[in-house]
Structure 1
Amino acid sequence: MLKVAVVGAGFMGTMHRNVYAQLKDAQVVAVVDGEEEKARKIASGAKVYTCMDDMLDKEKPDLVDICLPTYLHAEHVVKAAEAGAHVLCEKPMAMNLEEADRMIEAAERAGVFFMVAHCIRFWPEYVAFKEILDGGSLGGLRSLSLVRLSPTPTWSWEDWLMWASRSGSAALDLHIHDTDYVLYLFGTPKAVWSKGTWVGDGCVHIFTLYDYGDGPAVSAEGGWDMPPSYPFHMDF
């Protein structure tokens, strides 16, 4: 039985906690959140902590699932890895390359698994599309366009998604889904070109072209500046 600790009891932490409840080989032994009542709401029998350091020392989980705002990822991933726990971290991985390198290095030093939760790799439609490409049953791909649009996410804890310094804005938090999928399908491109619309210090709408030379023409669009009545939309 895999002993799991969920760190962060917000929207994503709640979702992850509910999924673990359906897995036969995993048990959530602890939930950590700075607001104790939030942690208690989703604990469902697990121990409740307000400090991850205390939890790591007392529970010694096999896996730590980081469901915190992006600007807190690096610090907590490094601590969990150094404690000898495998780590699953919500996307996006980090705020910048320096943080990402620190996280990878910590996991490598500790000899633990470290995974970023890029969920669409596992969604049925995206899985099926990759299988079709890999199998070649429809021939070679000539072009691919991906789109991901939503209203402004004003629902986040302390409005952290609206702070580019905490979330990376739509360019990092939302657009990362399709960029990761493109890399998953085709590997590293020869070049990348992006153009975005900025509000304050955050890029709220972005277009990206991925240059694969003689390979397929690939583009992606992402934005969270749609009106409140606009439903969340994604396609490829």
Structure 2
Amino acid sequence: MKNFAIIGAAGFIAERHLRAVKETGNRVVAATDTFDVMGRMDSFFPEAEFFLDFSKFEKFLSEEQKTDHPIEYISICSPNYLHAQHIQSALNNNAFAICEKPLVLYPEEIEAIEKAQLSTGKKVFNILQLRLHPTIIALREKIKNGPKDKSYDIDLTYITSRGKWYYKSWKGDIEKSGGIATNIGIHFFDMLQWIFGEVQNSIVHLYEADKAAGFLQLKNARVRWYLSLDNNDIPLEAKERGMRTYRSISVEGNEIEFSGGFTDLHTQTYQQILSGNGFGLEDARPCILLTHEIRNTKPVGAIGDFHPMVIK
């Protein structure tokens, strides 16, 4: 049984990490968050220490690392802009880090974590769960076994409605979240590069607080992408079914259905990490660099090969 700690234990995604630790037969011995209503801990690890003050959490951590039952893994579910700091804290306290997406926001943070990994001998793992989705794995195998010189035409559309609260939280602050392409798009950008190869060219057609669109030329694909937080963008047929999220990826005009199959992907990710695998810094690097480039690129408008919803 491995000992875990969790940073950002009150966040939405943290419950999946708590469940993953439990379902892999391990335990959380300490958790921290600035939010103090933490009843969810009672369903998973009621005996875990809990800290509102991060400095007290780090003090507890440093003391635990001197014992014969140290904390071996620290799961990071904090806001995006704190990831780099919390990864460094985990590595410097002689623990492996397991971090939610995006791993970090800025290229220079990648370099700092590289140095920390080298000096501590520990690693950071990123949650890139789409790489474990059965449908995505099947698509990758199909492309891998297909024509080597083919360039596929792809449309990516992801709309996930958000209310007014979103723009007043850290998620609505581009300096803290990285903006819409980073906050909700990074998994898809990672998945597309994992399947179709590295980015050769990127064009941004639209970039606003609640929506963004662009074009990617990958090694083996031409991708028109559109991301939105605006409920008005949800297609009518989806709205009529009460849906507030719409996800679509078409390859050569054929829809890739992967709306299901997400329930245990965090647990599978933890199993991979605990067995000596997992996705590390080098796996995360390409999508971090791409999203950083996207948010710092001036949109060109509806010019060239753009996603149909840009006109809408």
The TM-score range, normalised by the shorter chain, is 0.7 to 0.9
Q: State whether residues 30 and 59 of structure 1, in contact with CA within 8 Å, keep that contact through their aligned partners in structure 2.
A: no
Task: Pick the aligned partner of 1:169 from 151, 174, 179.
Answer: 179
Instruction: Answer yes or no: is 1:106 the counterpart of 2:116.
Output: yes
CA displacement at 1:232 relative to structure 2: 1.1
CA displacement at 1:17 relative to structure 2: 0.7
Question: What is the CA–CA distance in structure 2 between the aligned matches of 1:153 and 1:82, rounded to whole Å?
Answer: 38
Question: What is the CA–CA distance in structure 2 between the aligned matches of 1:192 and 1:136, rounded to whole Å?
Answer: 25
Structure having the higher strand fraction is: 1
TM-score (norm 1): 0.85
CA displacement at 1:150 relative to structure 2: 0.9
Cα-Cα RMSD: 2.6
Question: What is the CA–CA distance in structure 2 between the aligned matches of 1:55 and 1:226, rounded to whole Å?
Answer: 44
Q: Size of the alignment, in residue pairs? A: 229
Give the unaligned 5+ runs of structure 2: 66-70, 250-312
CA displacement at 1:132 relative to structure 2: 2.0
Question: What is the CA–CA distance in structure 2 between the aligned matches of 1:208 and 1:108, rounded to whole Å?
Answer: 36
CA displacement at 1:85 relative to structure 2: 0.7
Task: Pick the aligned partner of 1:45 from 44, 47, 52.
Answer: 47
Q: Match for 1:32: what amino acid?
A: T
CA displacement at 1:59 relative to structure 2: 3.1
CA displacement at 1:189 relative to structure 2: 1.7
CA displacement at 1:154 relative to structure 2: 4.9
For residues 83-98 of structure 1, the aligned pairs below 5 Å read 83-98=93-108
CA displacement at 1:131 relative to structure 2: 2.2
Q: State whether residues 32 and 55 of structure 1, in contact with CA within 8 Å, keep that contact through their aligned partners in structure 2.
A: no
Q: State whether residues 71 and 166 of structure 1, in contact with CA within 8 Å, keep that contact through their aligned partners in structure 2.
A: yes
Q: State whether residues 206 and 222 of structure 1, in contact with CA within 8 Å, keep that contact through their aligned partners in structure 2.
A: yes
Give the unaligned 5+ runs of structure 1: none
Which residue of 1 is the match for residue 22 of structure 2?
Answer: 21
Question: What is the CA–CA distance in structure 2 between the aligned matches of 1:125 and 1:156, rounded to whole Å?
Answer: 30
Question: What is the CA–CA distance in structure 1 between the aligned matches of 2:180 and 2:217, rounded to whole Å?
Answer: 22
Deviates more, 1:109-118 or 1:148-157: 148-157
Which residue of 2 is the match for residue 233 of structure 1?
Answer: 246
For residues 95-174 of structure 1, the aligned pairs below 5 Å read 95-136=105-146, 140=150, 142-152=152-162, 154=164, 159-174=169-184
CA displacement at 1:97 relative to structure 2: 1.4
Greater Rg, structure 1 or structure 2?
2
Using the aligned pairs only, state the percent identity: 22
Which residue of 1 is the match for residue 198 of structure 2?
Answer: 188
Which residue of 2 is the match for residue 8 of structure 1?
Answer: 8
Question: What is the CA–CA distance in structure 2 between the aligned matches of 1:154 and 1:100, rounded to whole Å?
Answer: 32
SS in 2 for 1:35: coil
- Tell me the alpha carbon deviations over residues 123-162 of structure 1, each in whole angstroms, 9 at most, x when there is no partner: 222222112222339x956222222111125556972211
Q: Match for 2:159: what amino acid?
A: L
Question: What is the CA–CA distance in structure 1 between the aligned matches of 2:123 and 2:168, rounded to whole Å?
Answer: 31
TM-score (norm 2): 0.66
Q: Which has the higher contact order (CA 8 A, sep 6+)?
A: 2
Rate the CA distance shift 1:5–1:157 in 2: closer, same or farther, 3 A: farther
Q: Match for 1:21: what amino acid?
A: K
Q: State whether residues 104 and 114 of structure 1, in contact with CA within 8 Å, keep that contact through their aligned partners in structure 2.
A: no
Which residue of 2 is the match for residue 56 of structure 1?
Answer: 61
Which residue of 1 is the match for residue 213 of structure 2?
Answer: 207
